[in-house]
């Protein structure tokens, strides 16, 4: 693992300490968990935003977020993102699976 230094406000440190306490771990564990979850969530949010704007298809959104197309479709559905999936997307995804 690589060491990383970051400045945090007292509010952010309080959140980390509370998380560490609830998870029976230390700050380092809490930071890693928060970054992992937060970064994944932010990547999904960005991917769905680009999908909604028509910049990428569902497969492209899944690639941005590094999740399966099925998971990305579920995330889109749960967040109320309307489908831009058309026949060209279907054909492209079918070609990718061949």
pLDDT at 84: 67
In angstroms, the CA 47 to CA 51 distance is 6
In angstroms, the CA 6 to CA 54 distance is 35
Which pair of tokens denotes residue 44? 């999904």
Work out the end-to-end distance of the chain between its first and last CA atoms, rounded to an integer number of angstroms.
38
Which pair of tokens denotes residue 48? 């769905």
In angstroms, the CA 94 to CA 78 distance is 24
The pLDDT of 7-26, averaged and rounded, is 93
Split at pLDDT 50, 70, 90, the class of 69 is very high
In angstroms, the CA 80 to CA 29 distance is 33
The pLDDT of 81-85, averaged and rounded, is 74
């Amino acid at each position: 693992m690589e060491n990383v230094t970051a400045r945090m406000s007292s509010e952010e440190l309080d959140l980390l300490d509370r998380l560490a306490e609830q998870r029976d771990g230390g700050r380092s564990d809490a930071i890693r968990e928060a970054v992992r979850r937060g970064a994944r969530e932010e990547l999904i949010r960005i991917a769905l935003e680009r999908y909604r704007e028509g910049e990428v298809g569902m497969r492209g959104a899944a690639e941005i977020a590094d999740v399966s197309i099925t998971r990305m479709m579920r995330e889109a559905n749960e967040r109320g993102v309307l489908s831009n999936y058309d026949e060209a997307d279907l054909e492209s995804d079918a070609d990718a699976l061949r």
